[in-house]
Amino acid sequence: MIKNFNFLFVTFFGIGTIRYAPGTITSLITTILLFSFFHIINISSNIILVCLIIIFLYAFYAIAYYIKDNENKDPKEIVIDEVIGQSIPIYLYEISHSSEKLTQDALLFYLYIFILFRFFDIKKPFPVSTFDKKFKNSFGVILDDVIAGLYVVLTLIIFMMIKSKFF
């Protein structure tokens, strides 16, 4: 039973087994889910944070369990790391703009966040590439996406600073 649960968890309910662009599809679904949680269902950001922390912590165990007998230590069907990496900039955007955003502004930022995350996750600039290449375990699988998510945050902060100074 734990094997089946871990498979569903690391593949984000089987999305990772989709033949083409499973990471991109997972990131898009994560974006839509988080938008729904924050803007349609209005779930508390604290509840969402607790859920994200649980996902983050359990992912280390689940991925390690999944890849232990696998020659490929970062198989493409593992997409829970995309959920984690995509969630970081969205969550930080939401808590930093909690009372001053319109839905259409949020949609635009979610789009920016999605595009930027996919860019950084695919291109893997330093140090994302280091974690991806050097750590062939659950730590490396997760941390490269966490850093890609933090790159998105940094990019948006720089963009907002430039926008406030010049526009």
Helix (H, G, I), strand (E, B) or coil at 70: coil
Distance CA(66)–CA(71), nearest Å, equals 11
Residues 2-37: pLDDT tens digits?
A: 789 999 999 999 999 999 999 999 999 999 999 999
The pLDDT score that the predictor gives to residue 68 is 87
Helix (H, G, I), strand (E, B) or coil at 136: coil
pLDDT in tens, 130-158: 776 777 778 888 999 999 999 999 999 99
| pLDDT tens by residue, 84-140 | 999 999 999 999 877 667 888 899 999 999 999 999 999 988 887 777 677 777 888
The pLDDT value given to residue 99 = 67
Locus of tokens 């890609």: 148
User: What local confidence, expressed as pLDDT, does residue 73 receive?
Assistant: 66
Tell me the whole-structure pTM to 2 decimals. Answer: 0.92
**Total Cβ atoms within 10 A of residue 104:** 8
88: closest CA among 133, 31, 41?
Answer: 31
Number of domains in the chain: 1
Range of the domain at 54: 2-11+20-166
| Cα distance between the two ends of the chain | 56
Q: Is the pLDDT of residue 43 over 70?
A: yes
